[in-house]
Amino acid sequence: MSGSLIEARGLAKHYSAFSLEGVDLTVNEGEVVGFIGQNGAGKSTTIKALLGLFPTDGGASSVLGVPSDELSRASGAATKEQVGVVFDAISLPEHLKVADVGRIYQRTYATWDAHRFGRLVDEFGLDTKKTVKSLSRGMGMKLSLACALAHDARLLILDEATAGLDPMARDEVLDLLRDFVAEPGRAILMSSHITSDLERIADRIVCIDAGRIVFDLPKDVITDEMGVARCRVADLEKIADAGVVPDAELRYLHHDYGIDVLVPDRFAFAENFPEIPVDRMTIDDYMTLTLKGGVR
Amino acid sequence: MKRAFLLEMTIFRDYARQLVGLGLLVSLCIGLGMQTPLAMPATLTCMFFMMSAMGLAAYDQLNHWELFRLTLPLSRRDVVLGRYAAIVTFGLLGMAVGLVAALAATAVVSAVGLPGEVGEAFAFDPGMLSVMAVVTCFTLLIGAVVASVVTPLYFRLGQTRATQILPTVIVLLFVVPVVVLGNSGMLDGGIPGMELVSAALEALDTPTGMVVGCVVLIALSSVALAISAAISLKLYERREL
């Protein structure tokens, strides 16, 4: 597909206790794709497979048009000039000072922008004399983000990059990411457990569970159209009998005070069942109802 | 490869500085203990080859650096060749520092005029330079062979696992053959070609022989490192990070 910065089809990787099974994932130009799932669901494994960090057992993937397995070979390594990567913890030798990290990137990326790195370091309040070891988790993530944003990348692959950041720093980072993706030809794949961040920035949400993609939906469909009906047990039967929601799509989750029901169109639902309160759907709600909810 | 090399040099820079200081002290102690300045470049050359091979590998597994490094615009081939280039650079740096330190120590002892055996041993003798060159080249070979053995293991197994099995590998490669050959009596003249080795050692006493000896030792070191690099390339290509 033209305009795809990341494309994966049927990606498979088998370990003794876990497998990625037929993962399909596309990140198009101009998109921020939120990649969600429980711990151990396969988010990081998928990201590493996309980056060609290990051989896969099936399927195919490409980053910026280059097959993932070429990215660590001489033929494809230069493509990574245009990819900024942040893992869930700072991944640099801990004895290096912040200034050394800048030097390392300068020697590695032909497109390194030392001024931009300096500006970001200042904005993030990083002390260039501090070592990586002495940085807190949040400051370490800020350093990683500053590196990823300072070499004119077209694609950012962020694995839990906002973890450890305080709310104000997260705001700041989300603004930077918004500015980044506003430039033509760019995109972001962002895995995160902080779904409120994704609600603010993502265009599409892809969820993985036990190594399989469970859903891939525009974020607006989840947060603007869907809803969670807060029902009593009797209401569930009433909703099912009315046929407003097809039986196969009627997902629900029991809790102590009633039943939450997934509603594909909360406005239509409110018209049909004005007596049943229906709330706006969050990404967390949708993931929980999809992964843990029952189908009638 | 140049990028990977520069990366290694930046990462190892601080440790190398510490190593120079430590190495100078150790080599001076060994030189004084053995009552010869020849030990100084020999010690530093060997030490820098081994320590850079092991030290650089140690950084690989800190903070998953080894994994993250491959998200930078480098190929696995760049990483391997950059590592070997760094090991050779640091090894030669050790050699240079050792030679300068030995000459400086000799100059200081001569200037101060130390009495006794140490003063005699460290007194400047032009003939010592060629012997120093041969001895240093021999330790270059030792350092290069050790680096050549350990580096492919680090690339294949990672530093933690490789360190666990390295003592066994070293014993198997360097100790067992000597013990077996010694007990078999082969070292007493039974090995074919021993006469040739003896003749080569005698030839080292001549100026031409020394030059040829140095060239051969440097060539052998280069061959060991080249073979090792080729093996590392194959092993690292298939390594699952």
Residues of chain B in contact with residue A97, where contact means CB-CB under 8 angstroms, are: none
- Give the count of Cβ contacts less than 8 A between chain A and B: 83
Angle subtended at Cα A268 by Cα A264 and Cα A270, rounded to the nearest 5 degrees: 100
Half-sphere exposure of A86 (CA within 13 A, CB side): 29
pLDDT recorded at residue A217: 93
Helix (H, G, I), strand (E, B) or coil at A1: coil
Quick check: B65 and A91 CB within 8 A? Answer: yes
Quick check: B78 and A87 CB within 8 A? Answer: no
Nearest CA in chain A to B3: A108
Residues of chain B in contact with residue A74, where contact means CB-CB under 8 angstroms, are: 75, 77-78
Quick check: B63 and A91 CB within 8 A? Answer: yes
Distance CA A124, CA A104 (A): 19
Closest approach of A141 to chain B, Cα-based (Å): 13
Quick check: B71 and A74 CB within 8 A? Answer: no
Contact, A58 vs A215, CB < 8 A? no
Nearest CA in chain B to A99: B10
B18 inside 8 A of chain A by CB: no
Distance CA A233, CA A230 (A): 10
Given B7, B63, B70, which is nearest A104 (Cβ)?
Answer: B7
B124 inside 8 A of chain A by CB: no
Closest approach of B186 to chain A, Cα-based (Å): 48
Checking if the pLDDT of A2 tops 60, the result is: no
Per-residue pLDDT reduced to its tens digit, A264-277? 888 988 888 888 89
Residues of chain B in contact with residue A103, where contact means CB-CB under 8 angstroms, are: 10
Given B62, B71, B72, which is nearest A93 (Cβ)?
Answer: B62
pLDDT recorded at residue A5: 94
Checking if the pLDDT of A82 tops 70, the result is: yes
* DSSP string for residues in A69-81: GGTTSTTTGGGGG
B11 inside 8 A of chain A by CB: yes
**Residue % of chain A over a pLDDT of 70:** 99
Q: What is the mean pLDDT of residues A16-20?
A: 89
Distance CA B175, CA B168 (A): 10
Distance CA B122, CA B119 (A): 5
Report the relative pairing of strands A32-36 and A187-191 from DSSP bridges. parallel
Distance CA A193, CA B89 (A): 45
Non-local CB neighbours of A54 within 8 Å, separated by 6+ positions: A13, A48, B240, B241
Given B15, B62, B73, which is nearest A109 (Cβ)?
Answer: B73
Contact, B38 vs B132, CB < 8 A? yes
Nearest CA in chain B to A68: B71
Per-residue pLDDT of chain B (241 residues; tens, 9 = 90+): 889 999 999 888 888 888 888 888 888 888 888 878 888 888 889 889 988 998 899 888 888 899 999 999 999 999 999 999 999 999 999 999 988 888 888 888 777 777 777 777 777 777 778 888 888 999 999 999 999 999 999 999 888 888 888 888 888 887 887 787 777 766 666 666 677 777 777 777 788 888 888 999 999 999 999 999 999 999 998 888 7
> What value does the mean pLDDT of chain A take?
90
Quick check: B71 and A79 CB within 8 A? Answer: no
Given A55, A92, A157, which is nearest B63 (Cβ)?
Answer: A92
Angle subtended at Cα A79 by Cα A74 and Cα A85, rounded to the nearest 5 degrees: 115
- Phi, psi of B84, deg, nearest 5: -65, -40
Quick check: A81 and B73 CB within 8 A? Answer: yes
Contact, B12 vs B52, CB < 8 A? yes
Closest approach of A272 to chain B, Cα-based (Å): 52
Q: Is the dihedral of CA B150, B152, B153, B157 positive or negative?
A: positive
Checking if the pLDDT of A1 tops 50, the result is: no
pLDDT recorded at residue A245: 76
Given B65, B72, B76, which is nearest A93 (Cβ)?
Answer: B65
Q: What are the residues of chain A with a beta carbon less than 8 Å away from any beta carbon of chain B?
A: 48, 51-55, 71-74, 76-81, 83, 85, 87, 89-96, 100, 103-105, 107-110, 132, 157
Per-residue pLDDT reduced to its tens digit, A184-236? 999 999 999 888 899 999 999 999 999 999 999 999 999 999 999 998 888 88
Residues of chain B in contact with residue A78, where contact means CB-CB under 8 angstroms, are: 73
pLDDT recorded at residue B191: 65
B59 inside 8 A of chain A by CB: yes
H helix intervals, chain A: 43-50, 98-108, 114-123, 137-148, 167-182, 195-201, 219-220, 233-242, 266-272, 283-292
Quick check: B71 and A80 CB within 8 A? Answer: yes
Asked which of A91-100, A164-173, B222-231 is least confident by mean pLDDT, the reply is: A164-173
Quick check: B75 and A103 CB within 8 A? Answer: no
Quick check: A79 and B59 CB within 8 A? Answer: no
B17 inside 8 A of chain A by CB: no
Q: Determine the length of chain B.
A: 241
